[in-house]
Amino acid sequence: MQTSKKSQQLSLVIAILCCIVLPLIGYIKIGLPPVIIVGGSAILAFFLWYFTYLKHPVEPEVILPLFIFTVAGLQTHIIEEYLSGFGPAMSRLFDIPWSERSFLMVFALVGPTIYTLTTWGLYKKLPLAGFVACFIFIGPGVAEFTHFIFPLISPRLEPDNVNSISREIKGVQINSMPNYYYKTTHSYYFAGMYTAILPMVPGIYAIRRLIRVRQTDKRN
């Protein structure tokens, strides 16, 4: 069933604002890396959503299980990220103020609230819920491959020091910043790398499924 023009237009405006405002907030609060990762994922998600879900929402029995499995994998992945100090590790890697408090606020508190509402929205076939789902499939889904690249990047802060460090970055005190640089630790690992594949598998499959469903709809 096709959504109304008014609903499509309103959803478009909100989605475009999200693509602009969220990366901007990330840049102001943390720095450039969130703009590249979050902003890039949001733009790709926008096009995926525009061509697959916006005008013709996918049936809940198709997209809802994929979204739930992706979020479940993501939340499991976030547990490893928290235990291994993902926020502080990123702070040391890029010299940005990403504290554990802000990490938990976004990924452990605000995120699950949005995911819960999105589940309801997908069930009701609301266009905007499809945009959030596409963002999750691409952002915390496909983009998790960056965990396998981070160990190869030399940290901006004391790359040759294998020990965790603490310091103030842009007025924010960041404690216990671990170093996962491969050349220093001689161990190929970065915070969250072991479970990064958990949201990637259902996320990538969901993208393929959305595209195939849309192609099938066009032929019929």
Tens of pLDDT, residues 38-80: 888 899 999 999 999 998 899 999 999 999 999 999 999 999 9
Q: How many CA atoms lie within 13 A of 44 on its CB side?
A: 16
- Report the chain's mean pLDDT, rounded to a whole number: 91
Count of domains forming the chain: 1
Domain that holds residue 76: 5-219
Is 93 exposed, middle or buried, given 0-12, 13-18 or 19+ CB atoms closer than 10 A? buried
**Whole-angstrom Cα distance, residue 29 to residue 23?**
10
**Whole-angstrom Cα distance, residue 111 to residue 177?**
23
Structure token pair of residue 14: 């909100």
Tens of pLDDT, residues 102-138: 888 888 889 999 999 999 999 999 999 999 999 999 9
Which of 28-32, 104-108, 211-215 shows the lowest mean pLDDT across its residues? 28-32
Three-state SS at 210? helix
**Whole-angstrom Cα distance, residue 71 to residue 60?**
16
